[in-house]
Amino acid sequence: MRIGVLTGGGDCPGLNAVIRAVVKTAIHQYGDTVIGFRDGFSGLIKDKTVPLDLPSVSGILPRGGTILGSSNRDNPFRYAERRNGQATQSDVSDTVVETYRKHELDCLIVIGGDGTLEIAHKFTAKGLNVIGIPKTIDNDLSATHVTFGFDTAVNTVMEAIDKIMTTAESHHRVMVVEVMGRDAGWIAISAGMAGGAHIILIPEIPFDMERIAEQIYTRKGRGKHFTVIVVAEGAKAAGGDRIIKRIVEGSSETVRLGGVGDMVARELEELTHLEARCTVLGHIQRGGTPSAFDRILSTRYGATAAVFAHEKKFDHMVALRTPDIAAVPLSEALHQMKRVPPTGGHVETARRVGISFGD
């Protein structure tokens, strides 16, 4: 077979491990030829390729990022360009089909989040054989038990909380840590629990500043003069809205969140007269070497995708259905967002050990 591979959307740890597993399986097991496309669908629009042979994937297992590059602005069905200083949008999907045919591909393996996989699914109707591999640090796809990249991000946040905890205690401060996750609180609740945060604010449970202040006083009453609060970027006050930081035109999800951590710290200072600081962890959460869990999951996803290509399981996505890797139709997998159930196991356990959700 001739197999194309691209990585699209925001990067995450484990992308290179997936690419390596696809290439190794395709070459060792089947004697295939694998071609990488640079910078997401842009590589197919502009025919930017890189041969993916065994030497090119040697040593990339522990590397963060993606050797192929990524882009979340190159939707071929709504391709945004500036022409004569003017922002334009056009459908260049036929160019993608031409590039696919030019390289005589039998299958295109698309490694991406919801937006990228939706584009992949649309190409099935144009006659392309696509297979999806779900990635996102947000872990917000319900079709798979876990997305790769999530575990590493949680570990990164946990280590940050460990560090914040010591300075919070020294200075008797309220320390707010803002984390990513978009409209899902998985990173916040998982890393918050792992790091021993005292209060966790997630998009699924609207918070109340007075209740948070009460928790801080309760801790003070117990002789604990510091509090660590983990806030998901999509968290919102009851009756309020999420805080939008910027709009990224041309991206499949245009809204970028951010700022809730600063708001919480500021309002808590006013309410409690205690010193508060906010740390926004930002893109640190998307970088670095993948954890052992993510390396294994990425390898299983990549190797299985190559097998699925030979089994002609096109228009499907690989998904972890513990303990197996299953094939899920892309039409079923898309737009099925997985959020933290407010009365589910994570929240219940957190509450049992005294963590407040500010509600």
Report, as residue numbers or ranges, the catalytic residues.
138
Residue 280 lies near ligand F6P (rule: CB under 6 A): no
Residue 257 lies near ligand F6P (rule: CB under 6 A): yes
Q: Which is nearer to ligand F6P, 181 or 185 (CB)?
A: 181
Give the shortest CB-211-to-ligand F6P separation in angstroms. Answer: 26
Residue type for position 203: P
Q: Which is nearer to ligand F6P, 16 or 136 (CB)?
A: 136
Residue 13 lies near ligand F6P (rule: CB under 6 A): no
Evaluate the CA torsion angle 323, 333, 44, 252 in order and state its sign: negative
Residue 236 lies near ligand F6P (rule: CB under 6 A): no
Residue 183 lies near ligand F6P (rule: CB under 6 A): no
> How many whole angstroms separate alpha carbon 347 and alpha carbon 329?
30
Sole binder of ligand F6P in the list 14, 40, 134, 181 (CB under 6 A): 181
Give the shortest CB-286-to-ligand F6P separation in angstroms. Answer: 5
Residue 73 lies near ligand F6P (rule: CB under 6 A): no
Give the shortest CB-143-to-ligand F6P separation in angstroms. Answer: 16
Give the shortest CB-10-to-ligand F6P separation in angstroms. Answer: 4
Torsion-angle region of residue 253: left (phi > 0), alpha (psi -120 to 50) or beta? beta
Residue located via tokens 């597993």: 21
Q: What does each C-alpha distance from 153 to 102, 158, 180, 250, 276 come to in angstroms?
A: 38, 9, 9, 26, 25
**Token pair for 150:** 């999530």
Q: What does each C-alpha distance from 6 to 11, 67, 71, 149, 290 come to in angstroms?
A: 12, 10, 10, 17, 19
**Token pair for 214:** 């009460």
Give the shortest CB-184-to-ligand F6P separation in angstroms. Answer: 9
Residue 335 lies near ligand F6P (rule: CB under 6 A): no
Sole binder of ligand F6P in the list 68, 111, 128, 180 (CB under 6 A): 180
Q: Which is nearer to ligand F6P, 224 or 283 (CB)?
A: 283
Sole binder of ligand F6P in the list 38, 121, 182, 242 (CB under 6 A): 182
**Token pair for 11:** 């990067």
Q: Which is nearer to ligand F6P, 259 or 342 (CB)?
A: 259
Q: How many CB atoms lie within 10 A of CB 253?
A: 14
Which residue blocks in 103-242 are alpha helix, DSSP H? 114-124, 150-171, 186-195, 209-221
Which residues fall within 8 angstroms of residue 357, CB to CB, at 6 or more apart?
A: 199, 200, 201, 202, 205, 207, 347, 350, 351
Sole binder of ligand F6P in the list 135, 286, 300, 313 (CB under 6 A): 286
Give the shortest CB-87-to-ligand F6P separation in angstroms. Answer: 18
**Token pair for 118:** 């939706």
Residue 10 lies near ligand F6P (rule: CB under 6 A): yes
Q: Which is nearer to ligand F6P, 32 or 114 (CB)?
A: 114
Region 132-151 residues binding ligand F6P, contact defined as CB under 6 A: 136-138
Region 95-134 residues binding ligand F6P, contact defined as CB under 6 A: none
For residue 16, the number of C-alpha atoms closer than 13 Å in the C-beta half-sphere is 19
- Residue with the CB atom nearest ligand F6P in the bound state: 180
**Omega of the bond leading into 290 within 30 degrees of 0 (cis):** no
Query: Interface residues with ligand F6P (CB under 6 A)?
Result: 10, 136-138, 180-182, 233, 248, 256-257, 286
